[in-house]
Amino acid sequence: MEIESLSIHAGERPDPAYGAVGTPIYQTSTFAFYDVGKNRGYDYSRTANPTRKILEETIAKLEGGKAGFCFATGMAAETTVLHLLKAGDHVISGDDVYGGTFRLLENVMRPLGVETTFMRLNDRRKIEAAIRPNTRMVWLETPSNPLLNITDVEMVADVAKKHRLLTAIDNTFASPVFLRPIDYGIDLVVHSTTKYLNGHCDVVGGAVVTTTDELTERVQFLLNAMGTCASPFDCWLVLRGIETLSLRVKQHAQNAAAVADFLGSHPAVSRVYYPGLKSHPGHDIARRQMKGFGGMVAFELKGGTEAAYAFLKKVKLFLLAESLGGAASLVAHPATMTHASMPREHREKAGITEGLVRLSVGLENINDIIADLRQALEPG
Ligand SMILES: *Cc1c(COP(=O)(O)O)cnc(C)c1O
């Protein structure tokens, strides 16, 4: 089945108990054994839950992986994956990853003895030069947050395989509709389901997809041992959102492309970041490895920080908020919001300036979206 159909039919559906087409919320902590040592496949909801299971199987199928696991948040998913490592291990990570990922690697994992080198993952030789005897994992995110840099997934997976390193990718921005990293040889896919997979700004959640029996067993063990799993109700919301994933992300991308074109020709704008633009440095790789360019656009104003603040005050339809991937258009100021946890000097090295504005282009009518941007960019 294709991704649009899998979004609706993957997993054990309809529900085996009564044939419910809408997946039931199994809001239970525990499951009765019908005899000593005998149950119906579930014993306790931390370990596994039928509602969660259907979502896990659905996300695994969408990504083309072996098994899926759902977590309380995207950060819980990342925390669990990073616990595949142990003290003394070394990670190579993209340098413009999500601010929370940076914070987790630097302020949680480093004190536990797992050190990370942050670098631009665009040069095979530079990646190889950064590999140490204790390097275990390469962490990447593409398109990256907030600058939408593109990483060649196949190249990174290939370098990692040659050196027997695990690869983990944060596929939150692209979603499996536009990018399927496992097809390029990636070992682990991570999602903040809070964003496009759920798509309605009403849940926080995370997911991990594995590609081998060994990784599946390890992640299942860690999820259960660490208790990082998602609740049945949150899984039900994400399942509901995923049914329309493909329709939504295609419309997000269409609207974002129109916004990028509009901003690119606006006199108050100095620079637009959107992988769909021919001028974007990662455009050719994005066109090769992705089926669409996504719904996120970033830009800088000629007037710098001051102009950015004025713009943020004037937008009406775009809500000033963290997060992305919902039906409603959102605008964020990465330096003070999503990336405030990244030290200023690291931010500047990665190109995240004080004047940078990030848009999550929503599903409103494109004329209303452009009209709001136009009025907010007017001088005075
Ligand atoms: C939001 C986000 C996360 C963190 O997910 P939460 O659900 O907020 O914990 C990780 N990576 C990316 C790219 C994100 O946008």
Residue 339 is part of which domain span?
245-377
CB of 98 within 6 A of ligand 1: the answer is yes
- Give tens-digit pLDDT for 135-186: 999 999 999 988 999 999 999 999 999 999 999 999 999 999 999 999 999 9
Q: What does the pLDDT read at residue 343?
A: 83
Same domain for 353 and 223, yes or no, is no
As a whole number of angstroms, the distance between CA 74 and CA 114 comes to 20
Say if residue 289 is exposed, middle or buried (CB neighbours under 10 Å; 0-12, 13-18, 19+).
Answer: buried
Same domain for 112 and 29, yes or no, is yes
The fraction of the chain above a pLDDT of 90, given in percent, is 91
More confident residue, 246 or 96: 246
Q: Which of 195, 248, 347, 358 is catalytic?
A: 195
Q: In this structure, what CATH number is given to the domain that contains residue 364?
A: 3.90.1150.10
Same domain for 300 and 175, yes or no, is no
CB of 195 within 6 A of ligand 1: the answer is yes
300 pLDDT band (50/70/90 cuts)?
Answer: very high
Q: Tell which residue, 347, 351, 325, 350, has the closest CA to residue 336.
A: 347
As a whole number of angstroms, the distance between CA 367 and CA 299 comes to 19
| Cβ atoms of 138 and 188 closer than 8 Å | no
Q: What does the pLDDT read at residue 366?
A: 98
Output the six-digit token pair for 270.
């100095």
Residue 170 designated active-site:
yes
Ligand 1 center from residue 192 Cα (angstroms): 5
Same domain for 273 and 350, yes or no, is yes
CB of 75 within 6 A of ligand 1: the answer is yes
Atom of ligand 1 nearest to the CA of 78: 10
Domain finish residue from 212, 242, 272: 242
Most ligand 1 atoms within 8 A of CB, residue of 75, 208, 322, 359 to mutate: 75
Same domain for 167 and 311, yes or no, is no
Same domain for 273 and 371, yes or no, is yes
Q: What does the pLDDT read at residue 61?
A: 98
Q: Which of 52, 61, 98, 196 is catalytic?
A: 98
Q: Tell which residue, 56, 17, 62, has the closest CA to residue 291.
A: 62
Output the six-digit token pair for 262.
């509009």
Residue 98 designated active-site:
yes
CB of 73 within 6 A of ligand 1: the answer is yes
CB of 74 within 6 A of ligand 1: the answer is yes
Q: What does the pLDDT read at residue 338?
A: 79
| Cβ atoms of 156 and 127 closer than 8 Å | yes
Domain finish residue from 194, 223, 242: 242
Same domain for 266 and 215, yes or no, is no
- The dihedral sign for the CA sequence 140, 141, 147, 151: positive
Same domain for 238 and 219, yes or no, is yes
Atom of ligand 1 nearest to the CA of 323: 1
Q: What does the pLDDT read at residue 331?
A: 97
As a whole number of angstroms, the distance between CA 78 and CA 101 comes to 8
Q: In this structure, what CATH number is given to the domain that contains residue 196?
A: 3.40.640.10
- Give tens-digit pLDDT for 306-331: 999 999 999 999 999 999 999 999 99
Same domain for 259 and 236, yes or no, is no
- Give tens-digit pLDDT for 66-89: 999 999 999 999 999 999 999 999
Residue 380 has pLDDT above 80, yes or no: no
Q: What does the pLDDT read at residue 348?
A: 82
Ligand 1 center from residue 101 Cα (angstroms): 8
Q: Tell which residue, 328, 331, 288, 311, has the closest CA to residue 375.
A: 311
Domain finish residue from 242, 269, 302: 242
DSSP string, 278-295: TTSTTHHHHHHH-SS--S
As a whole number of angstroms, the distance between CA 230 and CA 368 comes to 36
Stated pTM of the model: 0.96
Q: What does the pLDDT read at residue 78?
A: 98
Same domain for 171 and 255, yes or no, is no
Same domain for 288 and 367, yes or no, is yes
Same domain for 48 and 68, yes or no, is yes
As a whole number of angstroms, the distance between CA 59 and CA 224 comes to 19
Name the phi and psi angles at 82, rounded to 5. Answer: -70, -20
CB of 170 within 6 A of ligand 1: the answer is yes
131 pLDDT band (50/70/90 cuts)?
Answer: very high
Residue 336 has pLDDT above 90, yes or no: no
